[in-house]
Amino acid sequence: MRAHLLTFALVASVAACGPKDLPREEITEVLFPSKGLLAGYDFGDSWQDIKAKPPEHFAVRDDDTKQLRRDVGDNAGSNGYYVGFGLDDAGKVKSLSVHISGKKQNAVTVRALLDDVIAHYDKTIGGGRCSRTGTKDNSSNCSWEAPGKPRIRVTYHEMLDLQSGSLEVSLTPPK
């Protein structure tokens, strides 16, 4: 009985010290919105309008980098995600991206999101190709391209560490 209580206490203390869980459902809604290409935004949208009304839970980064950031927990950049905006000279969106980073248990969420992304773009665009990029880990690159559809590039980095993962999805206009 003591061993069970000690084990329970140890597991509870380790879990309490870990990062907060990434909100997979929220991220999925950002990746695959009912309107817009990514996070409800489209090519040609105005950065001024986007940063004036950011979605709840997002912080605006408006320096050399144009982003809506969602950090999960206290360690900025290691658990969370951001929506990035490439702008033309008029301040209009010319490319979109999402970058997701996860440590510890969140590395599993990031890997599961990769599967979600592949399934979504295989269904909506078709003709995707994926290949491993490393020989010592499961890092990979995927791409989709079809006439009249945005070009999609996906990069998953395992970073030679089963407790770290990152996923980047980028969209550019069709050729």
Q: What is the mean pLDDT of the chain?
A: 85
Residue 1 confidence (pLDDT) above 70: no
Report the sign of the C-alpha dihedral through residues 109, 95, 153, 126, in that order.
Answer: positive
Q: What letter represents residue 103's amino acid?
A: K
Taking the CA atoms of residue 12, residue 17, residue 18 and residue 23 in that order, the dihedral angle to the nearest 10 degrees is 90
The mean per-residue pLDDT over the stretch 51-58 comes to 91
The reported pTM is 0.83
Res 87: pLDDT: 98
Q: How confident is the model at residue 2 (pLDDT cuts 50, 70, 90)?
A: very low
Percent of residues, the chain, with pLDDT higher than 90: 57
Query: Averaged over 125-151, what is the pLDDT?
Result: 90
Other beta carbons within 10 angstroms of residue 127's beta carbon come to 11
Tokens 């144009």: give the residue: 66
pLDDT of 116 higher than 50: yes
Higher pLDDT, 98 or 6: 98
Cβ-contact 143, 128 below 8 angstroms:
yes
Domain positions in the chain are 20-172
What is the structure's pLDDT at 163? 83
